[in-house]
A and B are shown apart, each in its own frame.
Chain A
């Protein structure tokens, strides 16, 4: 039978639990403030100026669902907000086909895409047909996009590509330096990659078709686990990205195999948007985006990736740090 004392205890426990929950809720719920488009007066020539005309335009910036993409989405979104636009973000859309659909349907105004992915995934090019020169790749992609009423802005300085990675021990054991070195060995090795990797020509499909490799097994895992599975010894090989921060921070542990047959084309980021959206939004749309990506070289992108993937900062915070450090926002 419950006595008054027990009742008191139960009441206190309930209140304590409730208080803790509300404490956490109150602690951070005011965190979501968007940066208002404040006019910066002259702190550096690179600073984005807010144009009041842009306030009439609402934009939604999208991105695919891995950290590098989310960082880019945040950079563009925050930059456009500084330029005076009303900006919402829809990061984490999914793979490139989902993102493209979102642009075409008007769900988002635009998103950052890799030129190489656009060419192979959307326009059916074989990997070896993807131009190595960033400008050429952009022009080719833009040509194709224009046929569908879309437009791609000019590329970022940095490029990223898929890569087959492994631990230093495995590389030494089987004497692996290039992907072709896997011939004859790959049947003994397990490969782990993202779920879409199975279908992509610049991933497993390309390894099987263009390198002629057969693996002992392929296991689809979340992109975030690509280094964990190597470290834990579950995966012999894993699909990594050339911009990964782990490759420089933990270069004593992981190596990537050289893509000697050029199946994994490198892609610079080009911002994809609908022509009509770009016209309505005015010249500041393209100008702001191009301006703010000037500072995105490989080193910077790796640093940003490191902050989000290694230090677990939010993409929003990392983007803000970049924009402030480069002087784009005050």
Chain B
């Protein structure tokens, strides 16, 4: 019976770690844990996630929308989407650390690379699924091609596009978790360097990472709902 209670004991130890500083596992050292440190690492993970996502959007969104508008490049984009899924984030971080460099810039670039495939392929699919009649009507009204993309296709495709953004975010947040391997200290530090933070710290890290990922996903889901105009809302997700 006591064995069943062990998990609860671990979780309470982890919660304590988040809120109060403790003596480090490695004697003679500074204290670890505590609210301030948790916030610092969370902010760092948010920082690198947002930067990478922004970079991925800048590169992938216009490209995906344009290709979707022209109807070109489907095979390449499908391949890219599959390749992106098959790319192990651990290998990416390891190669970046060893060959390019460690620090915020190389890591952000690597994370952006992970975010590009879902955004570009979803943007493409979203635009392809726009009713051609709407595009024709817009052309008939004298809109230029770029205007059509911006004012007609993007709003109609926004739900699918946001789906891509959400996928990208999940991949980026997950990889940002192992960014400490490349010198960017995110919440993953608690998990990877458990020798300093102890088992309580490690579990605390896991909890905080999960909460961060879920919060971001929730925010983006809300945003997706807001941006999708009412006429387009689909019943089944």
- What residues of chain A have their CB less than 8 Å away from a CB belonging to chain B? 94-98, 120-122, 124, 195-196, 198-201, 205, 219-222, 225, 228-229, 232, 234
Contacts of B142 in A (CB 8 A): none
Interface majority SS (helix, strand, loop, mixed), chain A? helix
Contacts of A97 in B (CB 8 A): 25-27, 195, 198
How many angstroms between the C-alpha atoms of A295 and B185 in the bound complex? 41
CB distance from B126 to the nearest CB of A (A): 25
**A195 & B98 in contact (Cβ 8 Å cutoff):** no
In B154-213, the 8 Å CB interface with A consists of: 180-181, 183, 185, 189, 192-196, 198
CB distance from A65 to the nearest CB of B (A): 8
The verdict on B231 contacting chain A, using a C-beta distance below 8 Å, is no
CB distance from B17 to the nearest CB of A (A): 15
User: Can you name the residue of chain A whose Cβ is closest to the Cβ of B97?
Assistant: A225
Q: Which residue among B101, B185, B195 has the maximum number of chain A CB atoms within 10 Å of its CB?
A: B195
How many angstroms between the C-alpha atoms of A145 and B163 in the bound complex? 58
**B194 & A200 in contact (Cβ 8 Å cutoff):** no
How many angstroms between the C-alpha atoms of A299 and B103 in the bound complex? 36
Contacts of A234 in B (CB 8 A): 101-103
Given known contacts A94-B194, A94-B195, A196-B196, is B102 in contact with A221 (CB within 8 Å)? yes
**A196 & B195 in contact (Cβ 8 Å cutoff):** yes
Contact pick for B183, options A95, A96, A219, CB 8 Å: A219
Contacts of B180 in A (CB 8 A): 195, 220
A-B pairs, 9 with minimum CB distance = A199-B29, A95-B195, A201-B28, A199-B26, A195-B193, A94-B195, A199-B24, A97-B25, A121-B27
CB distance from A142 to the nearest CB of B (A): 19
Listed A/B pairs (7) with beta-carbon separation below 8 Å: A96-B26, A121-B26, A121-B28, A195-B196, A196-B26, A199-B28, A201-B28
How many angstroms between the C-alpha atoms of A122 and B28 in the bound complex? 9
The verdict on B30 contacting chain A, using a C-beta distance below 8 Å, is yes
Contact pick for A124, options B27, B98, B102, CB 8 Å: B27
Contacts of A121 in B (CB 8 A): 26-28
- What residues of chain B have their CB less than 8 Å away from a CB belonging to chain A? 24-30, 32, 97-98, 101-103, 180-181, 183, 185, 189, 192-196, 198
CB distance from A89 to the nearest CB of B (A): 19
Contacts of B24 in A (CB 8 A): 199
Given known contacts A95-B26, A121-B26, A124-B27, is B189 in contact with A221 (CB within 8 Å)? no
Beyond the given pairs A198-B29, A200-B26, 19 more chain A to chain B contacts, judged by CB atoms under 8 angstroms and listed by A's residue number, are A95-B25, A95-B26, A97-B26, A97-B198, A121-B26, A195-B193, A196-B193, A199-B32, A200-B28, A201-B29, A205-B28, A220-B193, A221-B183, A222-B97, A222-B181, A225-B102, A229-B102, A234-B102, A234-B103
**A225 & B29 in contact (Cβ 8 Å cutoff):** no
How many angstroms between the C-alpha atoms of A198 and B28 in the bound complex? 10
How many angstroms between the C-alpha atoms of A120 and B101 in the bound complex? 33
CB distance from A57 to the nearest CB of B (A): 28
User: Can you name the residue of chain B whose Cβ is closest to the Cβ of A199?
Assistant: B29
How many angstroms between the C-alpha atoms of A220 and B32 in the bound complex? 15
How many angstroms between the C-alpha atoms of A31 and B161 in the bound complex? 48
**A220 & B195 in contact (Cβ 8 Å cutoff):** no
Contacts of A195 in B (CB 8 A): 180, 189, 192-193, 195-196
How many angstroms between the C-alpha atoms of A176 and B27 in the bound complex? 30
Interface majority SS (helix, strand, loop, mixed), chain B? loop
Number of A-B contacts (CB under 8 A): 71
User: Can you name the residue of chain A whose Cβ is closest to the Cβ of B29?
Assistant: A199
How many angstroms between the C-alpha atoms of A124 and B26 in the bound complex? 10
User: Can you name the residue of chain A whose Cβ is closest to the Cβ of B28?
Assistant: A201
**A205 & B25 in contact (Cβ 8 Å cutoff):** no
Contacts of B27 in A (CB 8 A): 97, 120-122, 124, 201
How many angstroms between the C-alpha atoms of A261 and B194 in the bound complex? 31
Contacts of A200 in B (CB 8 A): 26, 28-29
Contacts of A220 in B (CB 8 A): 180, 183, 185, 193
How many angstroms between the C-alpha atoms of A222 and B181 in the bound complex? 7
How many angstroms between the C-alpha atoms of A205 and B30 in the bound complex? 8
Contacts of B189 in A (CB 8 A): 195
Contacts of B181 in A (CB 8 A): 222
Contact pick for A199, options B30, B97, B101, B194, CB 8 Å: B30
Contacts of A94 in B (CB 8 A): 194-195
How many angstroms between the C-alpha atoms of A220 and B103 in the bound complex? 11
User: Can you name the residue of chain B whose Cβ is closest to the Cβ of A124?
Assistant: B27
CB distance from A130 to the nearest CB of B (A): 12
Contacts of B28 in A (CB 8 A): 120-121, 124, 199-201, 205
How many angstroms between the C-alpha atoms of A200 and B97 in the bound complex? 24
CB distance from B50 to the nearest CB of A (A): 22
Contacts of A219 in B (CB 8 A): 102, 183
User: Can you name the residue of chain B whose Cβ is closest to the Cβ of A208?
Assistant: B30
